Amino acid sequence: MDTVLATAKEKRTKTISVLKEDLGTIRAGRANAAVLDKIRVDYYGVPTPINQMASISVPEARMLNIQPYDGSTLHAIEKAIMTSDVGINPQNDGRVIRLVFPPLTEEKRKELAKQVRKTAEDSKVAVRSIRRDAMDKIKKMEKASEITEDDRKDGEKELQDITDDFIKKVDNICADKEKEILEI
């Protein structure tokens, strides 16, 4: 039964890291290199992340500088950013691409906060699904007489406690991101 609980905890930890990664790509009005993480550039026929092709820096609070390691990829990076859903037009000076993040409107902030809540709810659903799968495994173990009824009840209680902790973590991460977005 310990392996079932350990596996469930490991899956939940992965869910939390995916949530953090997904929330990192949501633009919050400040320059954040994570918004480029999902953008892939066609580099000699291979879809390559921008951060593997260029150095990304934040010279100001609302600006990203992207300096390609290979100057010939400048236009390919610019094109990938323009076709992505980042919503920012890159400025190319021939050596560096600049992304200037405009201040967010109140409407856009509310829309992003709603997107954060939806992402957090998806993570909660994943955590609950992991709990359900682990509960099923524990019940099967009891039916196969591998564990006693008391062990099953203890395992289910421990599983529920772990689930509650992870749901709180998701809520806290979501609240922090919403606060970051809604700050003016």
pLDDT in tens, 120-149: 999 999 999 999 999 999 889 888 888 888
pTM of the model: 0.71
Whole-angstrom CA distances from 52 to 68, 77, 96, 104, 169 are: 9, 11, 15, 29, 31
Q: Map out the domains of the chain with their CATH numbers.
A: 2-24+105-182 (1.10.132.20), 33-100 (3.30.1360.40)
pLDDT in tens, 84-100: 877 788 898 888 999 88
The two tokens of residue 134 are 């682990």
